[in-house]
Amino acid sequence: MAIKSMIVRQIVLFSVVSVFVFTGAVFAQGVVPGQGTVVPNIGDDFEDESWSYTYNFPKSSSNIDEQVRRPNAFSSNRRILESDYRGTPDVVKRVATPEGGLAGSKGALMMQTRIAGIPGRISMEMQQDDLVINPRGVPGNALWLAKYPSFVVRVYVPPFDEFEDRTGSTFGVRADCHTLVDDKKAFGFGLFKRKSSKKMEPYWPGFFIQFNSKTDGRNKEDSAHILIRCDQNGREVAGPKITGPGWWTFGMSFTPDGMVHYYAHEGISDLTAADHLYSSYPYGYKCEGFHSCFFNITTFDDGKTWSTPWVIDDPTFYYASGPAQMATGRRSNTVR
């Protein structure tokens, strides 16, 4: 009995250690985005030929002047929205899927902007507009971190001669997250007075595509590369180079320990563990909630210069559900 008891204890100990090591590895690299099952009622495939977009100008600019100008712009199926924080791009339309896109895809979404920033005011600075994937079809407007959520989107990179001729960030694929921080304002009275509590703090990790123009005096030829936002100190992290036009696949996943995980590769094939680029607690924040993803489009705000035209397809959200789905490079549901 003593020997049997010792063997049982060793098996239990081995199992506990194995689970701990495996879970640690999962958190370190995250779930491969696109694994598991599709989250319904969020995302879009742009296959409906009647898809349209209502602008409702003037656009919001609360990131600059705290002005939210409602009603927001929205798509006909309510899957795409203007941000309250930054305004809608000036052009948002369904287009034929560029060559080399997902098999069976006939429609994709193009966005471009000319007048970003505060409506009616030219800043002569770089400004941004946003396009948000509407999370209102998800209970609580947030995806459950306990289910290891992720999203995947395909992005078409145009030829370099179609880029806005400016060195700097031109496009972003970002996640809408929140953390909890101390709210030091006192509240209550007498013995019940408290000096601090917690409040939600939004933050937006993700990817930027940086263009390096050959006309800026520093670059011999046009090029582009991916920047990852960000490390725990808020610094951008250099990612892969982009050598020419074509499709890229971007994905992010979120684990219950609050880490954010970044994946990308050239082409349209499903992401695998080999596409893991980085994992972090961006800005030192622990992710307490993941709501959706959105797209930044930037331009020099001179009232006449058009941004780079960007095309996306199939922004899709997933629940991996648990460790059985972790970091295998396989997924059970494939879109198209």
pLDDT at 197: 84
> What's the pLDDT score for residue 333?
35
Residue 14 half-sphere exposure toward CB, CA atoms < 13 A:
6
Task: Give the strand pairing for 168-183 and 149-157.
Answer: unpaired
Q: What is the pLDDT of residue 147?
A: 96
Q: What is the pLDDT along the chain (336 residues), one digit of tens a residue?
A: 433 333 333 333 323 333 333 344 556 678 999 999 999 999 999 999 999 999 999 999 999 999 999 999 999 999 999 999 999 999 999 999 999 999 999 999 999 999 999 999 999 999 999 999 999 999 999 999 999 999 999 999 999 999 999 999 999 999 999 999 998 775 566 555 666 688 999 999 999 999 999 999 999 999 999 999 999 999 999 999 999 999 999 999 999 999 999 999 999 999 999 999 999 999 999 999 999 999 999 999 999 999 999 999 999 999 998 544 544 433 333 333
The pLDDT score that the predictor gives to residue 10 is 34
31-325 — its CATH code?
A: 2.60.120
Question: Euclidean distance between the first and final Cα of the chain, in Å?
Answer: 57
Q: Are 196 and 180 in contact (CB under 8 A)?
A: no
How many C-beta neighbours within 10 Å does residue 227 have?
A: 16
- pLDDT for res 20: 31
Q: What is the pTM of this model?
A: 0.87
Q: Which two tokens stand for residue 77?
A: 């199926």
The closest alpha carbon to 331, from 31, 32, 30, 36, belongs to: 36
pLDDT of amino acid 17: 32
* pLDDT for position 29: 72
Domain spans of the chain, in order of start: 31-325
Write out the E strands in the chain. 37-38, 53-54, 74-75, 80-82, 91-96, 107-112, 126-133, 149-157, 168-183, 197-203, 206-212, 223-229, 236-242, 246-254, 260-266, 276-280, 289-300, 310-319
